[in-house]
Amino acid sequence: MSLPDKAFPVSWDQFHRDARALAWRLAGLNQDFRAIVCITRGGLVPAAIISRELNIRLIETVCIASYHDYVNQGDMNVLKGITADLLTDGGKGVLVVDDLTDTGKTASEVRAMMPNAHFACVYAKPKGVPTVDTFVTEVSQDTWIYFPWDMGFTYQEPIAKGHKG
């Protein structure tokens, strides 16, 4: 298994700051969201933070599996859909939250279910940017984001190690 060369490790503190920054952007839209639909599993943590910051109490999940081997994105597999109440009017007034849009396949799958919802994610890669409405940080397509829930505490080699100057 080989992962992309560029690594972007994100600590819990950094992720919390970035998710709150996303909440600030969403608050600036002056839109009353009636519910959050978080795309599991990555959307669970930012949805919790955003629901607190925007005082949104109704939270639903849509469960889609896509990264089957953590390197190649597999076929979309909808494990759990969205309740009918939130699908009315194409999801108008619903905020869809995820941690990352990579290729945009997952967001496109959910957008087909809820074309009028507002899509937000914390991080975005160029291929995924057109599939979301609001995001905080863009990283290059060849960067692998290491989320805090995927990591343990270990020594990290300096970036410059092995580079001749």
List 99, 133, 142, 150, catalytic entry = 99
pLDDT (tens digit, 0 to 9) for every residue of the chain, 165 residues total? 555 679 999 999 999 999 999 999 999 999 999 999 999 999 999 999 999 999 999 999 999 986 555 555 567 889 999 999 999 999 999 999 999 999 999 999 999 999 999 999 999 999 999 999 999 999 999 999 999 998 877 777 787 766 555
List 5, 98, 133, 142, catalytic entry = 98
Helices (H), the chain: 12-27, 44-54, 84-87, 105-113
The residue among 156, 146, 154 whose CA lies nearest residue 12 is 146
* CATH number assigned to the domain covering 6-149: 3.40.50.2020
For 53, counting Cβ atoms within 10 Å of its Cβ (0-12 exposed, 13-18 middle, 19+ buried), the class is middle
List 13, 18, 32, 102, catalytic entry = 102
Can you give the residue ranges of every domain in the chain?
6-149
* Residue 149 labeled ligand binder: no
CA distances from 78 to 57, 106, 109, 117 (A): 24, 10, 9, 18
In the prediction, which pLDDT does 4 show? 63
Distance between CA atoms of residues 2 and 53, nearest Å:
38
The residue among 103, 87, 94, 96 whose CA lies nearest residue 40 is 96
Is 18 in the active site?
Answer: no
* Residue 105 labeled ligand binder: yes
Helices (H), 28-88: 44-54, 84-87
Quote the tokens at residue 123.
């991080």
* Residue 26 labeled ligand binder: no
Is 98 in the active site?
Answer: yes
* Residue 18 labeled ligand binder: no
pTM of the predicted model, to two decimals? 0.86
* Residue 98 labeled ligand binder: yes
Determine how β-strand 35-40 pairs with β-strand 118-124.
unpaired
Q: Report CA Rg, the chain.
A: 16
Is 150 in the active site?
Answer: no
* Residue 103 labeled ligand binder: yes
